[in-house]
Amino acid sequence: MPYLQLSLPCTEALHPRVDRALEDVGALAVTLQDAHLDAADEQAIFEPGVGELPLWDDMTLTALFPVDVDPLLLLAALEAFDPELDWSQARFEIIPDQDWERAWLDTFHPMQFGQRTFIVPWNHALPEGADAADAAIIRLDPGLAFGSGTHPTTALCLRWLDDLATSGVLQAQPVLDFGCGSGILALAALKLGAARAVGVDNDPQAIIATSDNAQRNGVQIDVFLPQDEPIARYPIVVANILATALDALAETLAARVANGGRIAMSGILSGQEDELLLRFAPWFDRLHVARDDDWVRIDGVRNSTPVIA
């Protein structure tokens, strides 16, 4: 069915208030785009794990409502919920009915990361090279498409895992995917030879999505909300979350990596890496920065310095 779409310019500071107001008046879905980039540009939309949203300084927020909602009544409800916000810049349009899954499949094609890792839509034939005996093929459901590998942060982590597999470091090792979202990184680790994978995310939808994607790919991922996570140390940890979350969770992440183990962290914009390098330096040696467009991955090796909470 068609939808009524509301579009509104927004700032990082005001986003939480706007989001709460839209949720209160019944928004079916809310998305954010970088206001300074073309909306058709894939870089304009971040693909983090579920529950993690990018907050640029200036953004365009869009929300979907049932098509029979009266825009004037909707504006009145928003103004009543938070009268201090400026709702006058809101713009409305009718979004026609379409096959959303088909639209997604039309733009999502097989992708290769590193030497062996391939992300392929469910209904798509395997691309050239993916028929090799050691190819790591992850099939994704477009209904659970967040974290599909198209964003540089995900791509940086996938290439890191592929490199670890090529060098033999990943084989037969347990892996922790912290902020797992769709489970794409845990799936890749298992397909590349990890012994087992554990996913942690603070959004219940991520737990469902990761479990579903694991089942469809014929593997097992143990997925937990943070409060249910069994505390353990891992030889390989990957955390594709935001820079602010990495900073806040530095001690937690350091405590999850075994001595001599490897960590990769992404979701970091260029310019944010120096502060994070200093933040993680007490616990990690050989810290290395990799870049893809405006995004950064930091990886390193855990030393024996204890975490003092």
Q: Which residues are annotated as a binding site for S-adenosyl-L-methionine?
A: 154, 179, 201, 240
- Residue 233: Cβ-neighbour burial (10 angstroms; 0-12, 13-18, 19+): middle
Phi, psi of 308 (to 5 degrees): -110, 105
- Binding-site residues, in ranges, read 154, 179, 201, 240
- What are the E-state strand segments in 51-142? 58-66, 91-95, 111-113, 117-121, 136-140
Task: Tell me the one-letter amino acid at 127.
Answer: P
- Chain centroid, CA 4 distance in Å: 27
Element (H, E) at 176: strand 174-178
Q: Which of 163, 170, 223 is nearest to 199 (CA)?
A: 223
- Chain centroid, CA 302 distance in Å: 24
Sign of CA dihedral 48, 293, 169, 276: negative
Q: Report the alpha-carbon distance of residue 165 to residue 171 in Å, rounded.
A: 6
Q: Report the alpha-carbon distance of residue 166 to residue 202 in Å, rounded.
A: 31
